[in-house]
């Protein structure tokens, strides 16, 4: 496994890579102390794996893909070297038209592409109570966009955690500390692969 951000003679003076986790309450760490939040635990896991990285918490509880699109330029002002894009859960919970969700995510990905920032797209599945027609349309968004923008896809952010009572808080929606650790462990290799695509000199704008 390559150690991102630590190559070259000036490695000791290099700043950590900046990974922006752009998402909703799942990213923000809803209901958890900061020490147990997703971005904190992901940063710890990446550092333990040898990556000199700072994970920026770009999660806003309740945010939809429209909200993420509205703040993408603000988020890019932090000059991230890479982005983990985790949005869409609230679109599904609210039954938002999948075409709108697709358009918003496509616009975010296009903006990141224009900025030269590599992206890992974290997918989401529609709630089953919305029916098969909605589910099929919603669930196709993420693999379709991953192909369109040629970005890596992690198919389901809550894989191994969704609908598992012992890994979620009392609301049955948000992961507890143990659930966060399951998500981080499953995502770690994918995020490491994303960081390995970042040029050794750091930010694409440098």
> Within a domain: residue 93?
yes
pLDDT digits (tens, 9 = 90+) for 112-137: 999 999 999 999 999 999 999 999 99
- Which pLDDT does position 199 carry in this prediction? 83
> Within a domain: residue 124?
yes
- Average confidence (pLDDT) over 51-70: 98
Catalytic entry in 63, 81, 91, 174:
174
CATH number of the domain to which 173 belongs: 3.40.50.1110
- Which pLDDT does position 196 carry in this prediction? 97
Catalytic site includes residue 97: no
> Within a domain: residue 204?
no
> Within a domain: residue 48?
yes
* Max intra-chain CA distance, the chain: 57
- Which pLDDT does position 7 carry in this prediction? 38
> Within a domain: residue 54?
yes
Catalytic entry in 25, 63, 81, 91:
25
Q: What integer best gives the mean pLDDT of the chain?
A: 92
Catalytic site includes residue 24: no
- Which pLDDT does position 201 carry in this prediction? 60
> Within a domain: residue 186?
yes
> Within a domain: residue 201?
no
Give per-residue burial for 138-154: e unless 16+ CB within 10 Å, then b: bbebbeebbeebebebb
What sign has the CA pseudo-torsion 151, 187, 99, 71? negative
Catalytic entry in 114, 150, 171, 206:
171
Q: Find the range with the poorest average confidence among 59-63, 77-81, 201-205.
A: 201-205
Q: How many domains does one find in the chain?
A: 1
CA distance 95 to 11: 48
> Within a domain: residue 109?
yes
Give residue 12's pLDDT band: very low, low, confident or very high (50, 70, 90): very low
Both tokens of 99, joined, read 């075409």
Domain boundaries, position 27: 16-195
CA distance 168 to 118: 30
Catalytic site includes residue 203: no
DSSP letters of 119-165? EEEEP----GGG-HHHHHHHHTHHHHHHHHHT--EES-TTTTTTT-G
């Amino acid at each position: 496994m390559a150690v991102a951000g630590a190559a070259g003679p000036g490695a000791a003076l290099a700043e950590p890579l900046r990974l922006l986790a752009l998402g909703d309450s799942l990213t923000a760490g809803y209901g958890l102390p900061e020490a147990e939040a997703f971005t904190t635990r992901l940063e710890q896991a990446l550092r333990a794996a040898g990556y000199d990285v700072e994970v920026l918490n770009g999660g806003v509880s309740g945010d939809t893909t429209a909200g993420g699109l509205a703040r993408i330029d603000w988020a890019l002002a932090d000059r991230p070297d890479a982005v983990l894009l985790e949005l869409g859960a609230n679109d599904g919970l609210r039954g938002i038209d999948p075409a709108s969700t697709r358009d918003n995510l496509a616009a975010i990905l296009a903006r990141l592409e224009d900025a030269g920032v590599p992206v890992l797209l974290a997918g989401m599945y529609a709630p089953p109570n919305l029916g098969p027609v909605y589910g099929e349309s919603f669930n196709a968004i993420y693999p379709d966009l991953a192909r369109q923008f040629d970005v890596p896809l992690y198919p389901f952010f809550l894989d191994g955690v969704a609908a598992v009572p012992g890994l979620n808080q009392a609301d049955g929606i948000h992961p507890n500390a143990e659930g966060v650790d399951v998500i981080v462990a499953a995502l770690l290799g994918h995020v490491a692969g994303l960081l390995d695509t970042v040029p050794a000199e750091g930010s694409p704008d440098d």
